[in-house]
């Protein structure tokens, strides 16, 4: 179905088509997530605004293309963990990690698909903290709320044995501003289950010193690196 130059795209008609049981399924299967526009890029894939044409609901989709996924079966995300391509494995782990979380300051998991490999999350139209702060710098009250809410989210993640490993303004999405200021942590592409790590990951400006000095610490660091990175974020928006 192609959008007419003189007519808006008819999502209602597509919704009716998606409910037709005799109609062949798309590679994503039903419900169908129709691409609206690209809104960003995560650690492992593009982030798009999509619409579920069965319901009309808007979501954010983080997607990665795996050409040979069709040869690996239809057993869901777990099958990708057996694949030997580290990028795909990390993306599948990201889906598992965010799927296991439920917190008001962590972006909400909605769905995942395997054809293509795709993570569906709640859509927050205000964008990330970097964009919001550049557009309209946070005031003192908002910065205090950022500090409280971010630490609350990290406290929860660490209690669930999840280390984010890439805390930065681009990975903090904003749900509301001013008196309704509300943030959520996003992009779990570098996250890890566990509290003992040795890989040098993350974004250099926000990385904790022990990530670079890991060879002096027995080659490992722990989830305190998230606290350091978040502290740098708060300092940055306070300056």
Among 234, 38, 62, CA closest to 148? 234
CB of 34 closer than 8 Å to CB of 53: yes
CATH topology of domain 129-238: Transferase(Phosphotransferase); domain 1 (1.10.510)
CA distances to 51, 52, 62, 161, 176 from 120, rounded to whole Å, are: 10, 10, 7, 23, 21
| CATH fourth-level superfamily of 11-122 | Phosphorylase Kinase; domain 1 (3.30.200.20)
Distance CA 185, CA 117 (A): 21
CB of 171 closer than 8 Å to CB of 187: yes
**pTM, two decimal places:** 0.74
Q: Token match 């993570």: residue? A: 119
Compute the Cα dihedral for 123, 207, 161, 97 and give only its sign: positive
The torsion angle over the Cα atoms of residues 198, 200, 204 and 209, rounded to 10 degrees, is 30
Parallel, antiparallel, or unpaired for β 172-176 and 162-163? unpaired
Among 169, 164, 114, CA closest to 146? 169
How many Cα atoms within 13 Å fall on the side-chain side of residue 197? 24
Question: Which one of the listed residues 30, 67, 152, 166 is annotated catalytic?
Answer: 166
Domain boundaries, the chain: 11-122, 129-238
Per-run averaged pLDDT (10 residues), the chain, 239 residues: 43 43 44 86 78 92 60 38 55 79 94 82 96 96 98 97 94 95 92 76 82 66 93 95
Distance CA 115, CA 166 (A): 27
Compute the Cα dihedral for 103, 98, 126, 135 and give only its sign: positive
Q: Coil, strand or helix: which one is 81?
A: helix
Q: Coil, strand or helix: which one is 200?
A: coil
Residue 71, pLDDT score: 39
Distance of CA 128 to the CA centre of its chain: 11
Active site residue 166: yes
Residue 192, pLDDT score: 84
CA distances to 31, 47, 53, 63, 188 from 56, rounded to whole Å, are: 10, 19, 5, 20, 26
Q: Token match 């909605």: residue? A: 110
Residue 72, pLDDT score: 36
Residue 23, pLDDT score: 42
Residue 42, pLDDT score: 63
């Amino acid at each position: 179905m192609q959008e007419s130059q003189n007519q808006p795209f008819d999502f209602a008609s597509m919704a009716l088509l998606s409910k037709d049981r005799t109609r062949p399924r798309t590679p994503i299967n039903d419900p169908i997530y129709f691409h609206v526009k690209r809104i960003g890029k995560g650690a492992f894939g593009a982030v798009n605004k999509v619409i579920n044409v069965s319901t009309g609901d808007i979501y954010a989709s983080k997607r990665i293309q795996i050409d040979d996924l069709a040869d690996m079966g239809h057993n869901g995300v777990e099958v990708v963990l057996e694949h030997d391509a580290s990028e795909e494995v990390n993306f599948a782990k990201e889906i598992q990690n965010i799927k296991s979380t439920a917190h008001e300051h962590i972006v909400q998991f909605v769905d995942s698909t395997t054809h293509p490999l795709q993570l569906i999350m709640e859509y927050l139209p205000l964008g990330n903290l970097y964009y919001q702060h550049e557009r309209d710098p946070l005031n003192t009250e908002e910065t205090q709320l950022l500090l409280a809410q971010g630490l609350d989210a990290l406290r929860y993640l660490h209690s669930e044995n999840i280390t984010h490993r890439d805390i930065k303004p681009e990975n903090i999405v904003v749900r509301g501003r001013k008196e309704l200021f509300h943030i959520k942590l996003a992009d779990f592409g570098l996250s890890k289950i566990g509290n003992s790590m040795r890989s040098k990951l993350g974004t250099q400006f926000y990385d904790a010193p022990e990530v670079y000095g890991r060879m002096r610490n027995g080659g490992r660091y722990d989830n305190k690196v998230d606290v350091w990175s978040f502290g740098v974020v708060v300092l940055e928006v306070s300056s």
